[in-house]
Amino acid sequence: MRSLRTGLSLASLLATLGTLLLTAPAAHAADTPLRDLGTAKGKVIGTAVTGSKLTGTYGDIAGAQFSSLTPGNAMKWGSVEPTQGSFNWAEADQIVNFAEAHGQQVRGHTLVWHSQNPSWLTNGSWTPAQLGTLLDNHIATEAGRYKGRIAAWDVVNEPFNEDGTYRSTLWYNGLGSGYIARALTDARAADPAAKLYINDYNVEGVNAKSTALYNLVKSLKEQGVPIDGVGLQAHLILGQVPSTLQQNIQRFADLGVDVAITELDIRMALPADSTKLAQQKADYKAVTAACVAVTRCVNLTVWGFADSDSWVDSTFPGYGAATPYDANYAPKPAYYGIAEALGGTTTPPPTGACSAAYSVPSQWNTGFTGNVTISCSGASLSSWKVTWTYGAGQQITQAWNATCTQTGAAVSCTNASYNGTVPDGGSVTFGFNANWSGSNPVPTVTLG
Ligand code: 9MR
């Protein structure tokens, strides 16, 4: 028997937390998937996804619960044409193929934006004529490639400032506000069946920015420019669902365009606790209900379905837990908020649950680094022990943030003196290095 312990930082471990998570309680088997609840209400329910993650539990949930996928990054200009004239469609293709195999729509995101453009484009000095040609060709190439396979394109993303003036961007500065009509016209020519959207954030309630968007859409329609919908991103803060959300959706619908909630997440100050998670459920339910109330609100998409797959934590330090599933892919109260607003009679969210998840963030020819994350929702721990049995002779050599012993194939890890407490809504991670040869199958871990 060996006793192993060192003191690497928890932060560095969290930064490398892998994606292969086990022991994930899936949505309760008796619950109707969100996509089916949505269908009954005439709503498409979507999530943003990362192509490389579409296997295992993540792939199972993405395929079973959602009827629409949005590539989180894979279709952005910087992703598909990192070098001028040299294209990389691998992840975008993978997501579109996955969606088709699972009977899902794809929301294309996004053709024209000020961000995540390739450096050759942003660093170039272009005449207005050259810039216009670049825009036309990009849209023809990308929307043309996926012609007939994309339900809706976010053709133009985030064109406005908060006060409703046009954002100063490569496109606006070079081509004036006419770049928007030009891009929409290009997109219609490239894929006549796709619904064409303008998408922005902080336009969920009635305010100066959403009114500018409203006036733009009204004017585009009057000019006969192809515009089919507006995307309200809905990156919201706990307890701050705009009171005018439904009214705002309705005024766009009354203009004769569809509305989609395109990037919903609701962030909270960490750590999460059961009071905040209950408020988040109410907020998700309110947003979903506002969409349900307006016939032309056709799609509600979350921007990543799990807390381990959200942009929020790294962008807003101290905030997170913004999505409907926790980091172990267990549905949170927020999940049930969406389900209930879609008419689902759901099993009450389980209370008093803690679970452990094993992941392998890196592996090399003879060794690997493993992590285990213990998470609690509606319950807490003051000490913990995680055990598992290796199936292929793996041998732990070093552990940190836990005391691990291995006897034969049996591994037992207990908390260090400083991390026995796992609060309600919180998690603790420990890590280890180990040897392997032949194969490195992932064991089933037990918390107890
Ligand atoms: O989710 C995306 C994240 O992985 C990227 O790092 C980020 C870069 O800006 O973009 C995120 O997605 C954005 C989306 O494309 C447009 N609306 C805001 C989203 C969150 O930043």
Determine if residue 71 is left, alpha or beta; phi over 0 gives left, psi from -120 to 50 gives alpha, anything else beta: beta
Which residues contact ligand 1 via a Cβ below 6 A? 72-73, 115-116, 157, 201, 233, 263, 311
pLDDT of residue 396: 97
Q: pTM for this one? A: 0.77
Closest C-alpha to ligand 1, atom 12? 72
- Which of 266, 291, 251, 268 minimizes the C-alpha distance to 34? 291
Q: At what angle are helices 128-145 and 178-190 packed, to 10 degrees? A: 30
Closest C-alpha to ligand 1, atom 6? 311
Backbone angles phi, psi at 143, to 5 degrees: -65, -30
Residue 113 Cα to ligand 1 midpoint, Å, equals 11
Q: Which atom of ligand 1 is nearest to the CA of 303?
A: 1
Residue 267 Cα to ligand 1 midpoint, Å, equals 15
Mutate to test the pocket of ligand 1, among 47, 70, 73, 199 (most ligand atoms within 8 A of CB): 73
CA 71 to chain centre: 9
Q: Which atom of ligand 1 is nearest to the CA of 315?
A: 21
Helix (H, G, I), strand (E, B) or coil at 434: strand
Mutate to test the pocket of ligand 1, among 69, 153, 262, 263 (most ligand atoms within 8 A of CB): 263
pLDDT of residue 84: 98
pLDDT of residue 426: 86
What is the CB-side half-sphere exposure of residue 239 using CA atoms within 13 A? Answer: 7
Alpha helices in 128-235 (DSSP H): 128-145, 170-175, 178-190, 208-222
- Which of 367, 373, 419, 417 minimizes the C-alpha distance to 397? 367
In this structure, the number of other CB atoms found within 10 A of the CB of residue 147 comes to: 12
Helix (H, G, I), strand (E, B) or coil at 155: strand
The residues carrying an active-site annotation are 158, 263
Closest C-alpha to ligand 1, atom 4? 311
Residue 315 Cα to ligand 1 midpoint, Å, equals 10
- Which of 197, 99, 190, 195 minimizes the C-alpha distance to 143? 190
Residue 312 Cα to ligand 1 midpoint, Å, equals 9
- Which of 270, 265, 298, 297 minimizes the C-alpha distance to 284? 265
Are β-strands 297-302 and 258-269 bridged in parallel, bridged antiparallel, or unpaired? Answer: parallel
> Which residues of the chain are under the pLDDT cut of 50?
1-25, 29
Residue 60 Cα to ligand 1 midpoint, Å, equals 23
Q: Which atom of ligand 1 is nearest to the CA of 109?
A: 15
Q: At what angle are helices 178-190 and 208-222 packed, to 10 degrees? A: 60
Contact 248, 205 (CB under 8 A): yes
Are β-strands 235-237 and 395-400 bridged in parallel, bridged antiparallel, or unpaired? Answer: unpaired
Mutate to test the pocket of ligand 1, among 117, 154, 303, 307 (most ligand atoms within 8 A of CB): 303
- Reported for 131-135, long-range contacts at CB under 8 A and 24+ positions apart, including other chains, are 131/170, 131/171, 131/174, 131/175, 132/174, 132/175, 132/179, 132/182, 135/171, 135/175, 135/179, 135/182, 135/183, 135/186
Partners of residue 413 on adjacent β-strands:
386, 404
Partners of residue 375 on adjacent β-strands:
355, 427
**Structural tokens at position 108:** 């294309």
Residue 72 Cα to ligand 1 midpoint, Å, equals 7
- Laid out side by side, the sheet with 402-407 consists of 2-4, 402-407, 410-415, 385-389, 446-447
DSSP letters, 268-304, are EESSP-HHHHHHHHHHHHHHHHHHHTSTTEEEEEES-
Mutate to test the pocket of ligand 1, among 75, 109, 116, 261 (most ligand atoms within 8 A of CB): 116
CA distance 169 to 149: 29
DSSP letters, 344-413, are --PPPPP-SEEEEEEEEEEE-SSEEEEEEEEEEES--BSS-EEEEE-SS--EEEEEESEEEEEETTEEEE
Torsion, Cα of 187, 190, 191, 195 (10° steps): 10
Cis peptide before 271 (omega within 30 of 0): yes
**What are the structural domains, with CATH classification, of the chain?**
10-341 (3.20.20.80), 353-447 (2.60.40.290)
**Structural tokens at position 227:** 């515009």
Residue 112 Cα to ligand 1 midpoint, Å, equals 14
